Amino acid sequence: MATILLLHGPNLNLLGQREPHIYGSATLDDYVAATVAAAAPHGHEIEAFQSNHEGALVDAIHAARGRSAAIIINPGAFTHYAWSIHDALSAFAG
């Protein structure tokens, strides 16, 4: 069974509560559960982590090296300016 790291960036812990007219009513737990359900038939295990702190996400990426087969990330606002996350992902070799 391969482990896939599922990362979520800032404010995604508020999904389902924050501006539901824009982001919908599904919560972060709902998205994690859907990912777990999609991965299980393929023999994959999901390890989910959310943080509002860029460094915590970088640390999670570094810790995944050598033990996770892949990383799926929704970096939220970090999509636009988090070069440290970009660099950490570049160093991940699954």
Query: pLDDT tens across 25-48, in order?
Result: 999 999 999 999 999 999 999 999
pLDDT digits 0-9 by tens, 76-85 = 989 888 899 9
Q: What whole-number distance in Å separates Cα of residue 65 and Cα of residue 91?
A: 8
**Closest Cα partner for 60 from 88, 32, 35?**
88
Q: Looking at residue 80, what is its pLDDT?
A: 84
Q: Looking at residue 94, what is its pLDDT?
A: 66
Q: What whole-number distance in Å separates Cα of residue 7 and Cα of residue 48?
A: 6
Q: What is the mean pLDDT of the chain?
A: 95
Give mean pLDDT, residues 60-76. 96
For the chain, how long is the longest CA-to-CA vector? 40
The pTM of the full predicted model, rounded to 2 decimals, is 0.91
Q: How confident is the model at residue 13 (pLDDT cuts 50, 70, 90)?
A: very high
